[in-house]
Amino acid sequence: MATVRMFTDLNIKAERVMEEIANALALAEQIQLTLVSEELPEWKKRQQMACIGGPHDTCLEQLQSRFTVVAECLQQIRQQLKKVQELN
């Protein structure tokens, strides 16, 4: 009986982890979409303006760091998924 209960508890916890991972993936997708559809075009526009004599606010570091953070989060989620898979 204790083994069945422990197995059930483990399954419930695994489902919770999967729900949290799904939430994190949805959030990462939203952030990525914002970066690609809003931030990147704005940077391109600033870059074009700088080429024709506009202000030189074309620093790519902030945009690059945001993409890097999203990629690192996705990598961590991938590792967590592997651990959950190992449990099953």
Burial 43-70 (b: 16+ CB within 10 A, else e): beebeeeeeeeeeeeeeeeeeeebbeeb
Which residue from 43, 41, 45 is spatially nearest to 33, judged by alpha carbons? 41
Tens-place pLDDT, residues 48-84: 888 888 777 667 888 899 999 999 999 999 998 888 8
The pLDDT assigned to 83 comes to 84
**Above 70 in pLDDT, residue 88?**
no
Residue 59, SS3 per DSSP: coil
Average of per-residue pLDDT values in the chain: 87
The pLDDT assigned to 36 comes to 92
The pLDDT assigned to 65 comes to 92
Fold entry, domain 2-87: Glutathione S-transferase Yfyf (Class Pi); Chain A, domain 2 (1.20.1050)
